[in-house]
Amino acid sequence: MTVNVTAKKTLIEKIWKGHALLGESPLWDYRTSFLYWVDIENSRLYRQKTDGSGYSSIDLPAPAGSIALWHDGGLIAALGQGLFHVNPDNGTVSSIATELADDSCLMNDGKADRSGNFVFGAKHLKECDPVAGCWRYQSGQITRLEQKFIVFNGPAFSPSGDRIFFADSPSQKIMTASYNPTEGITTEPEVFVQLFGNDGYPDGMTVDSEGYLWNAQWDGWAITRYKPDGTVDQKIDMPVQRPTSLCFGGEDLKTLFVTSASTRLSPKELAENPDAGALFQLNLDVAGLLEETITK
């Protein structure tokens, strides 16, 4: 079903004027008040405070698809074909597990579930074969959940943690299923949202404190908030063609941070959205949820 919703006018502030090729995985660290994000294609990790202070970046040994908070400081990263610990203070990267994905894939999106497990997936490099996997890191153990994706994006979890949302982006579908932190996905995934045509492709997502799903829509020039039944609550126009992911942060968790991409855009497309690859923030009336730290 197609729903026509008037796009909401919201103040959108550019808070980093760089141009990431593939900005992704924004992450608010409530422990330090740093915002982290990555540029996958440039293999870099960035961080800064909301006022722009404390800015720094480090080179990574491989493209990092996603990051999450590590229990004793630092980050866990789905990096290259494996999983690693990253210390952003000194730039050290140590292996947790290598060669989870085969050479035809790279790690992509991931997020902590409500119990402190890291759920992360991969993408097929040529974006044509459904061979990319999805895994869960839980207390030192890694379990494969699925291996049938072209490009795994998301995931996001309901406030109670009993539902998971994710996308196989080329299908233009956001899926949902029952989820258990010890068993993983426990029911057959079903379609939560079907996008069409100029809607773009579902990319990164997060759930707010009211249980509504926010999704960045690659090539859709927008982010959209969905009600728990999958209908559109509001759509916010973005100044970039390819918003990639989003997260809540700030002291009251009412700031939405949005990453974007400039990769594979033609000169004409770049001229039409000169802020492609920048980082943005929006101040909202609804709060998000604190990100869990990954338990060792």
User: Binding site for substrate: which residues?
Assistant: 108
Beta bridge partners of 156: 165
CA–CA dist 204, 212 (Å, integer): 14
Q: How far is CA 110 from CA 128, 155, 176, 195, 295, in A?
A: 21, 6, 15, 21, 15
CB count within 10 Å of CB 259 equals 29
203 given a catalytic annotation: yes
* Per annotation, catalytic residue among 162, 203, 219, 275: 203
Q: What is the signed CA dihedral for 116, 118, 119, 120, rounded to 10 degrees? A: 160
% helix, strand, coil for the chain, step of 5:
5, 55, 45
> Which one-letter amino acid corresponds to residue 15?
I
Query: Residues within the annotated binding site for a divalent metal cation?
Result: 24, 153, 203
Give ∠ CA 64-184-34 in degrees, rounded to 5. 40
Measured distance CA(41)–CA(91) in Å, rounded:
18
Active site residues: 203
